[in-house]
Amino acid sequence: MLKVEEQTPVEFSSELLAKFDDVKSRYPEGKQKSALLPLLHLVQAEFLWVPTSAMDKVAEYLNIQPIEVYEVATFYTMYFLKPQGKYALEVCRTGPCCLVGAEKILSHLENKLGVKEGEVTADGLFSFRGVECLAACGYGPVLQISPEYTFYENLTEASVDKLIEDLKNKS
């Protein structure tokens, strides 16, 4: 990551900047760096990932060094540092979900989509990965789909198939 070839130039729309301003106003004077995590979420919702060029622009907006943005974007797991599918499926793979079949769901997704964890399908629609506990252990197995983070519970192979068909038809 952070390679030159992945430097996709981005423009922040005035709507996005208005959202930035709203977030920044929540913190005391001089503590605008607190807005960093929410801002990166807004960037990801807009571009579906967080390009380095966008991180640089966020740094400029918050008047902090670019490295302060990079270290945060790479520390937290939610920020995608390379492009994902339009629907990025994240399946919980931690203990309680595995007790009720999360591992089966992950291997089913791999077969169904024909890509490995972290890869994007040829049509650009889907990518998937296993993530750690999503705090929905009683309703497992669960998955969420970014950027809206809609949540699907009590998954079975059949319900995953249906979900993927529905998403395909929607787009």
- Residue 149 contacts another protein per CB under 8 A: yes
Q: Mark 71-88 as b/e (b = at least 16 C-beta within 10 Å).
A: ebbeeeeebbbebbbbbb
Q: Which of 20, 36, 54, 108 binds another protein (CB under 8 A)?
A: 36
Which residue lies nearer to another protein by CB, 44 or 160?
44
Answer for which of 1, 2, 67, 95 binds another protein (CB under 8 A) is 95
Is 131:87 a contact under the CB 8 Å cutoff? no
The C-alpha atoms of residue 110 and residue 129 are separated, in whole angstroms, by 9
**The binder of another protein chosen from 19, 46, 83, 94 (CB under 8 A):** 94
Q: Applying CB under 8 A, does 105 fall inside the site for another protein?
A: no
DSSP-derived pairing of the beta strands 87-92 and 126-131: parallel
| Integer Cα distance of 65 and 76 in angstroms | 18
Query: Considering beta carbons, is residue 95 or 124 the nearer one to another protein?
Result: 95
Residue nearer to another protein on the CB measure, 34 or 159:
34
- Judged by CB under 8 A, which of 17, 123, 138, 156 binds another protein? 138
Residue 77 CA to residue 152 CA, distance in Å, equals 20
Candidate ranges 9-17, 24-32, 112-120, 156-164; the one touching another protein (CB under 8 A)? 24-32
The answer to whether the peptide bond before residue 141 is cis (omega within 30 degrees of 0) is: yes
Which member of 12, 16, 33, 66 binds another protein (CB under 8 A)? 33
Longest dimension (CA), the chain: 52
Binding residues for another protein, rule: CB under 8 A, are 26, 28, 31, 33-38, 40-41, 62, 64, 68, 71-72, 75-79, 93-96, 98-100, 131-140, 144, 148-151
